[in-house]
Structures are given as C-alpha cells and as structure tokens.
Structure 1
Amino acid sequence: MKLLILGATGAVGSALIAQALKHPKIDQVIAPSRRPLAEHAKLTNPVTQFTPLDTAADYWRVDAVICALGTTIKQAGSKQAFTYVDRDLPLAIATLTRSLGANSFALNSSLGAKRGKNFYLNTKAEVEQGIAALNFNSFTIVRPSLINTQRTQARIGEQLGLWFAAIFKPLIPKRYRPVTPTAIAEALLHAVVEPMPGVHIIESEHLL
C-alpha cells in the first residue's frame, strides 16, 4: 500500500507516521509537510507550503489518504485562514487524490461536528460532507473529543478542558473524555489498511 498522510507534524499526525512506518502492509508513506520530518526508508517527505498545491506532483498518486490537518483560529490568524487549513485544503487534496485513483480516505474530524451556528463544528461538518460526496470506496470519519497531548503551541481552552477532565473523570461520560493521539491514529490507520465499503463514523467513546 502507498499511503498519504496529511498533518504529519501534529500530535495525531506524528503518531500516524510512527505507526504507519512500522505497518507490514504499508510499503510507502508519503507525508508532505511544511517542515522536514526525520528520514526513513519507507518515508517520502516533500516539503511544501501547500499554497498553491502542486497538483502535477507525482506524490498525490496513492492508494489511500489519512487527513489529520487541523489548527485553531488563534494559530491560523483568522477565520478565513482556519477554514483553508481545516476545510478547503483537505477537500482539495481529497478531490485530487480521488481523481488519481485513491480508494480509501480517513479524516480526523471533531466531536459534535454538525452544520449550524457554531463556526468550528460547522466547518468540520462541511469538510466531512464534501469528502463524502467524492464517493471514495471507503470513507471513515473519526470524531475525537479533547486530544490528550502536550502541544508545542499551547491551546488554553484545550488545557483547561484536560485539567477539568483529569479531576472529574469519573463523572464525565465516555463520549467527552480526552483521548490520546495514539488511539486516534490507530483508528484512522485501521480504517485505510482494512477498508470497509461505504461511509463510517467513529465517535470518541469508541476510541477509549
């Protein structure tokens, strides 16, 4: 299998890279990123800023895609920049890879993703629906709750949520408990290595 991983330098993406490089069914991992990754015999790491996409590049020809791209409005700098990273870029790459023959796609989304007034959750729902419309043979959406990780750039809301969850864990329904990047990565990777036909949604409680 030739696998494309998007968002390889993030918490979930880093866990994906580690797992994918060890997986016996994966022959090549392609991980375009803005900064270089550690070298590995199975890894191809085009360094790119993604603006614009090099649509003629050969590395988009893959069997499967996992998207772990994600940011915050604060980190992105504006709602427009956030939308580009979390919706427009994943959808553009999904469209391109599908046209070049990719059969399976797995997306790291968010707990509670749905169309509505909440900008963040609405954006997540839009990218879910956009990729679903491309009719991959297998499309899996993973919707984690808070991600239990130490980030290089602090996310205050996430840190407060993790602190609250650590104290009140017995009282918090499983659906809302923090999950590890490793658990999310395992679900995403399994979805493309052992693809099931159709569209599938894995909610956060099933990642624990």
Structure 2
Amino acid sequence: MKLLLAGASGLVGGHVLRLALADPAVERVTAPTRRPLPPHPKLDAPLLDWNALPTDAPWWRADAAVCALGTTMRAAGSRAAFRKVDYDYPLAFAQAARRGGVRAYALNSALGADAGSMFFYNRVKGELEAALAGIGFESLTYVRPGLIEGEREQPRPGEVVATKVLRIAAPLLPQRWRLNPAPRIAQALLQAALRAEPGVHAVGSERLV
C-alpha cells in the first residue's frame, strides 16, 4: 500500500503519519508539506507550495490518500483565506491524487458539515464533501469529528477553554458532542484509507470518542 497524506505537520495529520509509518501494510508514505518532516525510511516528504501543486510529480501515483488539512477562521484571518486552506487545497490534492490512480480517499471533515448550512465553517466543509463526491473515488470516507482533543504546536485559546468545559461536562453530554481525541480520529482516517470499502461513507463524532 502506497499512501498519500496531506496535513502531516498538523495535529491529526501528525498522528496519521505516525500510525502509517508503523503499519506493516503501508509500504510507502508520501506527505507533501510546506516544512521539513523528520526523516524515516518509509517516508517521502517533498516540499511544495500549495498554491502551485506539481500535478505531474511521480509521487502522486499511490493507492490511497488521507487529507487532514485545515485551519480556523482566527488563524486564517479572513473567510477567503480560510476557504483556500479548507476547500481549495484539499480539493486540488484530491484531484491530483485521483489522476495519479488513487482509489480511496479519506477526509478529516467536521461535525455539522453541510453545504446548505447558514454557518460559514460548516458550509465550506459540506461544499468540500460534495465536491469530492464528484471526483470518482471508488472509496470515499468523511470523518466528522467535533472538538478535537490534543496538544497543538500553536495552541488555540478558544479550543483550550472549550476542551476544559467539555471534559467536565462529558458525563452529561451525548457522545456526538464529547471530545474526540486526535489519535482516534487519525486511526479512523487511516483505517478508511487502507480498507478502501466501495462507496461513500461517513464516520460521525460519536464513533470517535
């Protein structure tokens, strides 16, 4: 199995990378990134500019792909910048991967993803899911976590506060509203890519607790 991974330098993507490198079923991981990753015998980490993807690169030829790209409105600074990272880049990655022969694609989406949502964040996530469905993957999985639990290199103040509140309230909350640990999300993404079950699938936040 040759795996493509987008977002390997992030919280969830980093966990996907570690799981994939340790999995004997994965022969090679190609993780295009904007900054260098620690070397590993099974890892190819080409540096790239997401605004100018090398769509003819030989490393696009793979069996499956996982996309864990994403940001926040606060980090992006504007709706246009957010959409570029959470819609344009993942879509371009998926299109190039499909041209390279990738059959299975797993996306780290979000709870509430809905192309018709009145909330911009959820709408962008839903629009991306809809666009991916038209690319032609034999296996397509949307993993939809709620609030992600894990240590980020650059902490997000809002998430830190919300995480503390949800930890306290967890026994009173339905499973779908509880914290989703980053390793559990990563496991779901990698499993979906490796199993490559035909059709379109969604993994809800209640399955990521």
**What is the match of residue 204 of structure 1?**
205
Matches within 5 A, 1:22-61: 22-61=22-61
**SS state at 1:33 partner:** coil
| Equivalence map 1:177-196=2 (5 Å) | 177-196=178-197
1:147 corresponds to 2:148:
yes
1:76-95 equivalence runs, <5 A? 76-95=76-95
In 1, distance between residues paired with 2:122 and 2:2?
31
Q: For the residues of structure 2 that align with 1:162 and 1:58, how far apart are their CA atoms?
A: 41
RMSD value, Cα? 1.0
Secondary structure at the aligned position of 1:66 is classed as strand
SS of 1:9's partner is coil
Aligned to 1:7: 7
Which residue identity is paired with 1:171? L
Report SS of the residue matched to 2:201.
strand
Tell me, yes or no, if structure 1 residue 18 matches structure 2 residue 10: no
Offset of 1:111 from its aligned partner? 0.5
For 2:42 and 2:26, how far apart are their aligned partners in 1?
Answer: 9
CA distance in 1, matches of 2:113, 2:167: 24
1:134 deviates by 1.1
Distance 1:207 1:73 in 2: 24
- Note the 1:63-142 alignment, pairs <5 A: 63-115=63-115, 116-142=117-143
Divergent runs of 4+, >2 A: none
Unaligned runs of 5+ in 1: none
Note the residue ranges of structure 2 that are not aligned, 5 or more in a row: none
Q: TM-score, normalised by structure 2?
A: 0.97
Question: How far apart are the structure 2 equivalents of 1:32 and 1:77?
Answer: 24
- Using the alignment, how far apart are the partners of 1:84 and 1:123 within structure 2? 10
The Cα of 1:159 is off from its aligned counterpart by: 1.5
Indicate the percent of aligned positions where both proteins have the same amino acid. Answer: 46
| Aligned length in residues | 208
Q: CA deviation at 1:49?
A: 2.4
